[in-house]
């Protein structure tokens, strides 16, 4: 597949070109600046109207005169983000969309962290989560075609039915963008992959503690088939996992010798299904075995998979999301596997994917 078939993300050449505040811009005009499919609702709650959206343009890391309006408060990075509000009759909510690409999106609904989130199926695969966000606002979250769509109620009340209908009515703002974005590997879309100088962000990545942080710890991402094959062969891990092909891979390291590798497996319509595998040689990286719980509400158990004792954690028995950590002394490997939530991504599917890793890693004849 040639580069011309992939989505070409528009970006400013330098952070000094950024506006003081994200400008108002129509969804169709904003889509070329987005490294994600931009979604707009076809059904608005009764008595409300959609306030014209604003775009945070993508630019290399940096700030101009400490301008922070509409930008991430925790660093000087400038990834793309689209935001709009829906308001009327004394109530108001905001919808924010972006590609969550600085870590694996914890629990598939990171904005609801530490909230007992409640899942509802949107269709045959997508899941909508209800909960409370970090500002203690009533909130919801879903990932559609890899786009994280976060909703926060800013004033008044919206019913679950209204919020559910809003998400159910989401349609791509530019339908022609869906196929090229879907066929583009994560490493070519991700802001952090294209700007390694952005540095790591200290955020949860799943239900077992695993966090990278700091400018000194960097990742080198690739979508090159030969480079991915080389990394897979080094750890003897499969090129396909849970029926999903390897999409992108990265090596992470710092000056003190800490290192681990990461593989994104993605597939299905719009690449909506995802597994994220982190592997390391014993004690070399950030994976801790036995695993330590994160603070987000979840269920957990120790299970046996392919003769291995696995620390398994999950949000919901029907939909996931799933997180597992284990050590395989026979293969000389420590691993962490995480899955996005989905109506068909059940426990049996996830455990089978772990068994595939164990079988492949122990195959000494594999190149």
Task: Work out the widest C-alpha separation in the chain, in whole angstroms.
Answer: 68
Rounded CA-CA distance 234/185 in Å is 21
Q: Are residues 98 and 235 in the same domain?
A: no
Is pLDDT at 158 greater than 90 in this prediction? yes
Rounded CA-CA distance 249/23 in Å is 34
Q: Are residues 258 and 157 in the same domain?
A: no
Please report whether residue 31 resides in a domain: yes
Give the global pTM.
0.94
C-alpha to C-alpha distances, 327 to 72, 77, 203, 232, nearest whole angstrom? 36, 35, 23, 18
Q: Are residues 204 and 347 in the same domain?
A: yes
Q: Are residues 82 and 169 in the same domain?
A: yes
Q: What is the pLDDT averaged over residues 289-318?
A: 95
Q: Are residues 271 and 217 in the same domain?
A: yes
DSSP for residue 159: -
Q: Are residues 58 and 98 in the same domain?
A: yes
* DSSP letters for 71-97: S-TTSS-B--EEEEEEEETTEEEEEEE
Where among 124, 154, 181 does a domain terminate? Answer: 181
Is pLDDT at 2 greater than 60 in this prediction? no
Q: Are residues 133 and 237 in the same domain?
A: no
Please report whether residue 14 resides in a domain: yes
Number of domains forming the structure of the chain: 2
Q: What is the pLDDT averaged over residues 307-313?
A: 96
Q: Are residues 161 and 211 in the same domain?
A: no
**pLDDT band at residue 367 under the 50/70/90 scheme:** very low
Residue with the larger pLDDT of the pair 254 and 173:
173
Cβ-contact 192, 198 below 8 angstroms:
yes
Please report whether residue 194 resides in a domain: no
Domain containing 285 equals 199-361
| Residue 312: Cβ-neighbour burial (10 angstroms; 0-12, 13-18, 19+) | buried
Q: Are residues 257 and 354 in the same domain?
A: yes
Q: Are residues 237 and 162 in the same domain?
A: no
Please report whether residue 49 resides in a domain: yes
Q: Give the CATH number, domain containing residue 91.
A: 3.30.200.100
Cβ-contact 246, 353 below 8 angstroms:
no
The tens digit of pLDDT for each residue in 212-232 reads 876 567 789 999 999 999 999
pLDDT reported for residue 111: 96
Please report whether residue 86 resides in a domain: yes
Neighbours of 258 (CB within 10 A): 16
Residue with the larger pLDDT of the pair 217 and 100:
100
Please report whether residue 186 resides in a domain: no
Residue with the larger pLDDT of the pair 310 and 3:
310
Is pLDDT at 295 greater than 50 in this prediction? yes
pLDDT reported for residue 65: 64
Residue with the larger pLDDT of the pair 244 and 362:
244
Cβ-contact 50, 41 below 8 angstroms:
yes
* DSSP letters for 187-245: HHH-HHHH-GGG-B-----SSB-----BTTSEEEEE--HHHHHHHHHHHT--SEETTEE
Where among 181, 213, 237 does a domain terminate? Answer: 181
Where among 181, 208, 243 does a domain terminate? Answer: 181
The tens digit of pLDDT for each residue in 263-277 reads 999 999 999 999 999
Please report whether residue 67 resides in a domain: yes
Q: Are residues 214 and 69 in the same domain?
A: no
Structure tokens at 333: 């490997």
Please report whether residue 302 resides in a domain: yes
Q: Are residues 71 and 174 in the same domain?
A: yes
Q: What percent of the chain has pLDDT over 70?
A: 93
**pLDDT band at residue 364 under the 50/70/90 scheme:** low
Among 257, 253, 277, which residue's Cα sits nearest to residue 200? 253
Among 49, 54, 51, which residue's Cα sits nearest to residue 82? 54
pLDDT reported for residue 67: 59
């Amino acid at each position: 597949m040639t580069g011309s078939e992939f989505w070409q993300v528009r970006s400013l050449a330098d952070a000094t070109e950024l506006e003081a505040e994200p400008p108002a811009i129509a969804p169709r005009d904003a889509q070329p600046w987005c490294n994600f499919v931009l979604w707009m609702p076809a059904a608005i709650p009764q008595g409300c109207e959609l306030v014209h959206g604003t775009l945070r343009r993508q630019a290399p890391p940096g700030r101009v005169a400490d301008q922070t309006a509409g930008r991430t408060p925790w660093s000087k990075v400038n990834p793309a983000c689209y935001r709009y509000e829906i308001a009327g009759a004394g109530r108001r909510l905001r919808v924010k969309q972006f590609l969550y690409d600085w870590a694996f999106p914890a629990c598939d609904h990171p904005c609801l962290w530490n909230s007992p989130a409640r899942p509802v199926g949107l269709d045959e695969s997508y899941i909508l989560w209800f909960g409370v966000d970090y500002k203690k606002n009533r909130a919801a979250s879903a990932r559609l075609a890899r786009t994280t769509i976060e909703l926060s109620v800013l004033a008044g009340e919206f019913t679950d039915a209204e919020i559910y209908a809003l998400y159910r009515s989401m349609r791509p703002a530019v339908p022609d963008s869906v196929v090229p974005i879907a066929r583009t590997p994560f490493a070519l879309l991700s802001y952090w992959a294209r700007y390694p100088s952005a540095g790591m962000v200290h955020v949860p990545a799943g239900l077992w503690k695993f966090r990278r942080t700091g400018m000194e710890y960097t990742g080198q991402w690739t979508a090159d088939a030969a480079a991915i094959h080389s990394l897979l062969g080094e750890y003897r891990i499969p090129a396909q996992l849970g029926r999903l092909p390897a999409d992108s891979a990265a090596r992470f390291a710092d000056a003190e010798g800490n290192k681990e590798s990461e593989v994104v497996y993605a597939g299905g319509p719009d690449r909506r299904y995802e597994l994220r595998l982190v592997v390391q040689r014993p004690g070399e990286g950030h994976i801790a075995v036995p695993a330590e719980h994160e603070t987000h509400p979840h269920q957990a158990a120790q299970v046996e998979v392919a003769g291995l004792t696995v620390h398994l954690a999950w949000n919901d028995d029907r939909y996931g999301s799933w997180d597992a950590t284990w050590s395989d002394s026979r293969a000389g490997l420590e691993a962490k596997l995480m899955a996005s939530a989905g109506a068909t991504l059940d426990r049996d599917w996830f455990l089978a994917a772990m068994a595939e890793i164990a079988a492949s890693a122990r195959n000494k004849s594999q190149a």
